[in-house]
Amino acid sequence: MSNGARFLGHPIHQMLIVFPLGLLATAVVFDIISLSTGNPYWSEIAYWMIAAGVVGGLVAAVFGLIDWLAIPNDTRAWAVGLFHGVGNVMVLALFGISWYLRSKLPSEPGTTAYVLSFVGAGLALVTGWLGGELVDRLGVGVDKGAHMDSPSSLSGRPATERDTTWAGRWWGRPGGQAPA
């Protein structure tokens, strides 16, 4: 997938998704803490984490769409990417509605707000697995010819080259020279 959105040799979408995924998952953990302790402070924190997670998810989605459009549409990867993307739009919608329902009183979300975020988290587990399937199994976003001794993406050398020196493994340059 060489036509996807990349920065310093790596797919941007894969770099960005860690933020919304972590924020939304932590919001659910904080909601569980709030429900189990009766302390509304945790739900207020969850509200702000959901806000940041939804915004971050929308940014990541733009780059995910760019990557998906670069996948040939007659492949299994295209179909898996479609389910991954649509599922994540649903995740963002569920958390977005939960965020809206919490907006008047973030420290006291109603049952519906909790249920929406819990269902969103469950769906995120499925869509996260689909994302892993795209990268780990189908090789989407992985450099052609990548292997355990490929040079660094910053080296400008193709992944098919091999550098077995210790310094070369670190810097990914012939003779282990540090990047300029």
Q: What is the pLDDT of residues 7-55, one digit of tens each?
A: 777 788 888 999 999 999 999 999 999 999 999 999 999 999 999 999 9
Torsion sign (Cα): 128, 134, 139, 140 = negative
pLDDT in tens, 65-113: 999 998 999 999 999 999 999 999 999 999 999 999 999 999 999 999 9
Q: Is 162 helix (H, G, I), strand (E, B) or coil?
A: coil
Residue 114, both tokens: 């909790």
For residue 39, give the amino acid letter. N
- d(C-alpha 76, C-alpha 79), whole Å: 5
